[in-house]
């Protein structure tokens, strides 16, 4: 084979490689380029798109219940289930032993350090007052915030309904169950109206008079101040 024939074959091979390279670089990406649909294929009900306003849903949300209202509907059965996370450190029965934490029989209504046979931290022992619904709720929410320096390592119960339930359960672990707190009565409509700020009245002298066209008394566009209930 002379050099001319070899050059022809080599040129053909090189041209084929260039064609294949061009197809790989330009034609394949064009054939398989992803397209973004104008509308999502699936819309999941109840899931807002990113950046969507949620003001309407927030406005329709039920108002949160107070801790007194949650205590009023809480059950000791649920409280006992919540208290299962505490049994590694506490007992709840009459005459129960002290563990890492004290026995909690008859704790509601008693002083903070309610047992004489348990070595409380100086922070808790030096805290005045009794364990009532408000103080126990604050302690269960975040112990170290309510009594800084307490040696109780429990992080706390975030859900107010859990705190209400366990307090109801603990309140019944006593010779006489600790009475539940009274639920604050809602404000009467007339009281709410009385507390609402009144609109500033527009002085009649400040409103220009307009003629009725029939020689009648000029009409005034002023309106008396009103009160709105909130």
What is the reported pLDDT for 139? 97
pTM, full prediction: 0.57
How many independent structural domains does the chain possess?
1
Task: Answer whether 227's CB lies under 8 Å from 196's CB.
Answer: yes
Asked if residue 23 belongs to a domain, the reply is: no
Confidence of residue 12 (pLDDT cuts 50, 70, 90): confident
Q: What tens digit of pLDDT does each residue of 48-102 get? A: 444 444 454 444 555 689 999 999 999 999 999 999 999 999 999 999 999 999 9
State pLDDT tens for residues 127-163: 999 999 999 999 999 999 999 999 998 999 999 999 9
CB 79 within 8 A of CB 163: no
CATH code of 163's domain = 1.10.760.10
Alpha-carbon distance values, 197 to 129, 187, 194, 201, 225 (Å): 39, 16, 8, 12, 11
Give the tokens for residue 77: 């059965």
In a domain, 18, yes or no: no
Residue range of the domain that includes 167:
67-172
Report the candidate in 147, 146, 181 with the shortest Cα–Cα distance to residue 73: 181
Q: Give CA angle at 110 (105, 113), nearest 5°.
A: 85
Using the Cα atoms of residue 183, residue 184, residue 189 and residue 192 in order, give the sign of their dihedral.
Answer: negative
């Amino acid at each position: 084979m002379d050099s001319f024939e070899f050059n022809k074959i080599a040129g053909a091979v090189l041209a084929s490689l260039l064609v294949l390279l061009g197809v790989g670089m330009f034609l394949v990406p064009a054939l398989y380029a992803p397209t973004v649909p104008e509308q999502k294929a699936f819309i999941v009900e109840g899931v807002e798109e990113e950046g969507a306003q949620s003001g309407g849903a927030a406005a329709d949300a039920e108002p949160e219940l107070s801790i007194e209202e949650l205590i009023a509907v809480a059950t000791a059965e649920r409280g006992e289930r919540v208290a299962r996370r505490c049994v590694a450190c506490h007992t709840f029965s009459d005459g129960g032993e002290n563990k890492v934490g004290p026995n909690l029989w008859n704790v509601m209504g008693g002083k903070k350090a309610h047992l004489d046979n348990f070595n409380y931290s100086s922070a808790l022992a030096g805290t005045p007052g009794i364990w009532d619904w408000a103080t126990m709720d604050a302690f269960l929410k975040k112990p170290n915030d309510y009594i800084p320096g307490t040696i109780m390592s429990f992080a706390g119960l975030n859900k107010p309904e859990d705190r209400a339930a366990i307090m109801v359960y603990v309140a019944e672990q006593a010779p006489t169950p600790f009475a539940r707190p009274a639920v604050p009565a809602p404000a009467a409509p007339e009281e709410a109206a009385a507390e609402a700020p009144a609109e500033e009245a527009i002085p009649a002298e400040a409103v220009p008079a307009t003629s009725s066209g029939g020689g009648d008394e000029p009409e005034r566009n002023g309106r008396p101040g009103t009160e709105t209930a909130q």
